[in-house]
Structure 1
Amino acid sequence: MWLVVSDSHDNILKMKEIEKIIEKEKITTVFHCGDFVAPFVLPYLVKDGVNFFGVFGNNDGEKLLLFQKSNGRIRPGPLEITIGDYKIMMMHEPYALKSIEKSNIYDFVFFGHTHEIVERKEGDALIVNPGESSGWLTGVSTVALIEPLEKKAKIIKI
Structure 2
Amino acid sequence: MRVLLVSDSHGRNQNMEKVIRKVSPVDLLIHLGDLEGSEGYLEAIAPCPVEMVAGNNDFFSRLPREKVITIGRHQIFMTHGHNYYVNYGYGELRAAAKSRGCDYAFFGHIHRPVLDDTEEVTVVNPGSISLPRQDNRRPSYAILNVNRKGDFDIEIYYL
2:88 alignment partner in structure 1 = none
**Pair 1:42-2:48 in alignment:** no
Give the structure-2-normalised TM-score: 0.76
Distance, in Å, in 2 between the alignment partners of 1:125 and 1:148 is: 18
| SS at structure 1 position matched to 2:18 | helix
Question: In 2, Cα distance between the equivalents of 1:156 and 1:20?
Answer: 14
Per-residue CA deviations over 1:86-108 (Å, capped at 9, x if unaligned) read 31110002513031355592232
Paired with 2:158 and 2:44, the residues of 1 have a C-alpha distance of: 17
5+ residue gaps, structure 2, are 85-91
Q: Secondary structure at the match of 2:10?
A: coil
Which residue in the other structure is 2:123 paired with?
127
Deviation of 1:16 after TM superposition, in Å, equals 1.7
Structure 1, 6-15 or 38-47: larger mean CA deviation:
38-47
| Residues 120 and 44 of structure 1, relative CA distance in 2, 3 Å threshold | farther
- State whether residues 104 and 123 of structure 1, in contact with CA within 8 Å, keep that contact through their aligned partners in structure 2: no
Residue 52 (structure 1) aligns with: 50
Q: Any conservation in 1 of the 2:132–2:140 contact (CA below 8 Å)? A: no
Alignment pair present for 1:89 and 2:87: no
SS at match of 1:34: coil
TM-score, scaled relative to structure 1: 0.76
Report if aligned partners of 1:30, 1:45 keep a CA contact under 8 Å in 2: no
Deviations 1:74-127 (A, max 9, x none): x22221112453311100025130313555922322100011211021556432
Count of matched residue positions in the alignment of Structure 1 and Structure 2? 144
Relative to structure 1, is the Cα distance of residues 136 and 41 closer, same or farther in structure 2, using a 3 angstrom cutoff? farther
- 2:7 is matched with 6
Amino acid at match of 2:77: M
Q: Residues of 2 paired with 1:104 and 1:120: CA distance?
A: 19
The sequence identity of aligned pairs, in percent, is 29
Q: How does 1:76-155 map to 2 (within 5 A)?
A: 76-94=64-82, 95=84, 96-100=92-96, 105-123=101-119, 125-135=121-131, 137=133, 139-149=137-147, 150-155=151-156
